[in-house]
Chain A
Amino acid sequence: MSKILIRGAKVLGHDPQDVLIDGETIAEVGTGLTAEGAEVVEAEGKVLLPGLVDLHTHLREPGREDSETVLTGTRAAASGGFTAVFAMANTFPVADTAGVVEQVYRLGRDHGYCDVQPIGAVTVGLEGRKLAELGAMHESAAGVTVFSDDGKCVHDAVIMRRALEYVKAFGGVVAQHAQEPRLTEGAEMNEGVVSAELGLGGWPAVAEESIIARDVLLAEHVGSRVHICHLSTAGSVEIVRWAKSRGIDVTAEVTPHHLLLTDELVRTYNPVYKVNPPLRTERDVLALREALADGTIDIVATDHAPHPHEDKDCEWAAAAMGMVGLETALSVVQETMVDTGLLTWAGVAERMSAKPAEIGGADGHGRPVSAGEPANLTLVDTAYRGSVDPAGFASRSRNTPYEGRELPGRVTHTWLRGKATLVDGKLT
């Protein structure tokens, strides 16, 4: 069936409208549209958003297919309402050549649950010493525009400067995992009151803030744009706010978990809360929410980091860092930003779809919900409340910090270029 009528949805949270999909595009948006020849999806009371775009996903393939594959990861993405994800480069082998990024890109195309846009490594093997073939990755079939050594920081100031300059030639952007390596040796959690008590190695806020400060100054000096991954502290917010006020071309992302969880949870020593950057304090969480609301932080990105059970069912020190996030992201954003009155659904569409698509250059995504646009759409039952059950996850891994926690909202439908990938909460 090529025609779909979504009836009575609150488009971007506004007054109910009908949206008619014809083939791969939105044919019409209005009221009282005719259902003739179309499959009808009753969407009364639900919110319709442009398909979500995640600028920061770890799909683990190639190399750690026991954690996640492009197939399972994109199914998780579709379940969470995403129509495009950017796949981080820290795979095995590292995505630092045209060959690897093309492989990931093709797997995404073949599976068809969402578009997969590979991110290329900034340096060979993520080692921080030698620039990877950034141009070749850009020119490959994958058309890479975002480069990141995520998982590691491009800590050498000269390499960072060169990368920022180099990608200007083809409109690329460097996404920095801001973590000063010397200040975070042996770091296991946020450095502060809780780490002092628990005797766990501290990851100080200044290790993030000092790199962000340096990088925005570098970006200003060479006239490039820089993107800050998973910003996590109140101090980082201030630096980005200052940089923007100065006209520096910087964008920043925050993860859902940094909008909701604090380092107090580490008292359980449960490695499900072990993540990099670490969970911070209540004060940081509130500053991040405010910054996302006022636009200082541009987007929400999941940092979806799947790990197999055995890498988390152990003592804290031995556990892997990271949390899965694709399937719970929108719920957490609803809880922390929408239900608190900080952001409208239109604001959510901006920060989880339009802006990440723009930063990453994902053509056809993050577009307005209007006639003639690609039919990348997500339908959300915002009245739903239920507790998170990882057993139902499409992701191959279950390392969610929200198990058993009640969160609002549920994505019921996702369409990728007019083709349903999720119907009534079930993957197609």
Chain B
Amino acid sequence: MLRHLISAADLTRDDAVLILDTAEEMARVADRPIKKLPTLRGRTVVNLFFEDSTRTRISFEAAEKRLSADVINFTAKGSSVSKGESLKDTAQTLEAMGVDAVVIRHGASGAPYRLANSGWIDAAVINAGDGTHQHPTQALLDAFTMRRRLVGRDTGLGQDLDGRRITIVGDILHSRVARSNVDLLHTLGAEVTLVAPPTLVPVGVGNWPCEVSYDLDAVLPKSDAVMMLRVQRERMNAAFFPTEREYSRRYGLDGDRMARMPEHAVVMHPGPMVRGMEITAEVADSERCTVVEQVANGVSIRMAVLYLLLGGNEPAVTHTRTEEKSER
């Protein structure tokens, strides 16, 4: 395993499958009366959030606590990060406190990479989203959700997503989720198609291991999963597309479009959903939509990542019944 998790592109197929399998083990913990493992007892994990994201922070925090880690939340939002010194200064403060892992969310692409590679800090670094670059645990939880739905919860163990056709729709240009998913899904053997208006596809996408289409209707019937990305309304003012209505008409997912997907196909969304523009309420609330599962799976994935990065050599879940008892 890696020492840090900065980019989904850094994961080999075996790494990724190991994380997914470990997450399945972790998921079982959630079904127990006491949802806690002693695995990271005595280890300190800091959630270092330079950018607001309550959902992601809570998901990591839940994962850390279920593994019995000591958790420190550090929210740097609003502090003087403009000069950039605060990342280094903060890192060195954390280092002095003997932190074992740093979960970092930052508005600047590459900030977690700098944190892990500049010699500022010794702790393991986990990227919880950086700028428009990467959000690897999101990609892992998406892959985990797809594997469960498309391959099966138990039959999926040890499996990848070979040959599955995944469509990612929306603001690819500004999306770290899209970047992470393209990398990971490709590693796992899936065929990815990006669908967006050309203004929301980055120049240079030609080198990505995926297809690009501007026509959602043509791609839907061939999709095993359709991942809808959030489109910010501000993009309209920056002339990425003419009107909200036109965007919805061409790239929004409604009931009619969903009906053109194969029966087994699922609809995904990294959340938070803004119903209306990119996805209608009808689709968001349907059986096929995995948004709520994605949230739950996020905790299992983050438990698996923390466990594996922080040197879990022992099996994560077995032989823990006595521990659980002693904790009562």
Q: Which of A197, A268, A314 contacts B87 (CB 8 A)?
A: A314
A196 is an interface residue with CB less than 8 A from chain B = yes
Query: Are B114 and A269 closer than 8 Å at their CB atoms?
Result: yes
Query: Are B203 and A204 closer than 8 Å at their CB atoms?
Result: yes
Query: Are B203 and A191 closer than 8 Å at their CB atoms?
Result: yes
B42 is an interface residue with CB less than 8 A from chain A = no
Query: Are A318 and B179 closer than 8 Å at their CB atoms?
Result: no
Q: Which residues of B contact A318 (CB under 8 A)?
A: 81-85, 87, 108
Q: In the docked arrangement, what's the CA distance between A199 and B109, Å?
A: 6
A202 is an interface residue with CB less than 8 A from chain B = yes
Query: Are A316 and B109 closer than 8 Å at their CB atoms?
Result: yes
Q: Which of A196, A268, A315 contacts B111 (CB 8 A)?
A: A315
B322 is an interface residue with CB less than 8 A from chain A = no
Query: Are A269 and B205 closer than 8 Å at their CB atoms?
Result: no
**Given contacts A200-B110, A310-B85, A313-B88, are A193 and B118 in contact (CB under 8 A)?**
no
Query: Are A196 and B83 closer than 8 Å at their CB atoms?
Result: no
Q: In the docked arrangement, what's the CA distance between A316 and B203, Å?
A: 20
Q: A196-B202, A198-B110 are in contact. List 12 more A-B contacts (CB 8 A).
A: A197-B208, A199-B109, A200-B131, A310-B83, A314-B83, A315-B108, A315-B114, A316-B108, A316-B114, A317-B84, A317-B107, A318-B82
Which B residue's beta carbon lies closest to that of A315?
Answer: B111
**Residues of B149-207 contacting chain A, CB below 8 A:** 176, 179, 202-207
Q: Mark B104-143, 1 if CB is under 8 A from A, else 0.
A: 0011111101100110000000000011111000000000
Q: Which residues of A contact B133 (CB under 8 A)?
A: 198-200
**Given contacts A313-B88, A318-B84, are A197 and B108 in contact (CB under 8 A)?**
no
Which A residue's beta carbon lies closest to that of B9?
Answer: A197
Between A and B, 19 residue pairs with Cβ closer than 8 Å are A192-B203, A193-B206, A196-B202, A196-B205, A197-B9, A198-B110, A198-B133, A199-B109, A199-B131, A200-B131, A200-B133, A269-B109, A314-B85, A315-B87, A315-B106, A318-B84, A318-B85, A318-B87, A319-B84
Q: Which residues of A contact B176 (CB under 8 A)?
A: 199
Query: Are A269 and B110 closer than 8 Å at their CB atoms?
Result: yes
Q: In the docked arrangement, what's the CA distance between A45 and B264, Å?
A: 77
A194 is an interface residue with CB less than 8 A from chain B = yes
**Given contacts A314-B88, A316-B110, A318-B81, are A199 and B207 in contact (CB under 8 A)?**
no
Query: Are A197 and B88 closer than 8 Å at their CB atoms?
Result: no
Q: Which residues of B contact A315 (CB under 8 A)?
A: 84, 87, 106, 108, 110-111, 114
Minimum C-beta distance from A226 to chain B (A): 28
Q: Which 5 A-B pairs have the closest CB atoms?
A: A318-B84, A314-B84, A196-B204, A199-B133, A317-B108
Minimum C-beta distance from B246 to chain A (A): 23
- Report the interface size class on chain B: 20 to 34
Q: Which residues of A contact B85 (CB under 8 A)?
A: 310, 314, 318
Q: Which residues of B contact A192 (CB under 8 A)?
A: 203-204
Q: In the docked arrangement, what's the CA distance between A316 and B111, Å?
A: 7
Which B residue's beta carbon lies closest to that of A314?
Answer: B84
A195 is an interface residue with CB less than 8 A from chain B = yes
Query: Are A195 and B204 closer than 8 Å at their CB atoms?
Result: yes
Q: Which of A199, A202, A269, A319 contacts B203 (CB 8 A)?
A: A202
Query: Are B179 and A197 closer than 8 Å at their CB atoms?
Result: yes
**Residues of B1-59 contacting chain A, CB below 8 A:** 9
Q: Which of A188, A191, A313 contacts B204 (CB 8 A)?
A: A191
Q: Which residues of B contact A200 (CB under 8 A)?
A: 109-110, 131-133
Which A residue's beta carbon lies closest to that of B81?
Answer: A318
Q: Which residues of A contact B82 (CB under 8 A)?
A: 318
Q: In the docked arrangement, what's the CA distance between A310 and B89, Å?
A: 11
Q: In the docked arrangement, what's the CA distance between A315 and B90, Å?
A: 13
Q: In the docked arrangement, what's the CA distance between A322 and B327, Å?
A: 57
Q: Which residues of B contact A204 (CB under 8 A)?
A: 203
Which B residue's beta carbon lies closest to that of A318?
Answer: B84
Minimum C-beta distance from B83 to chain A (A): 6
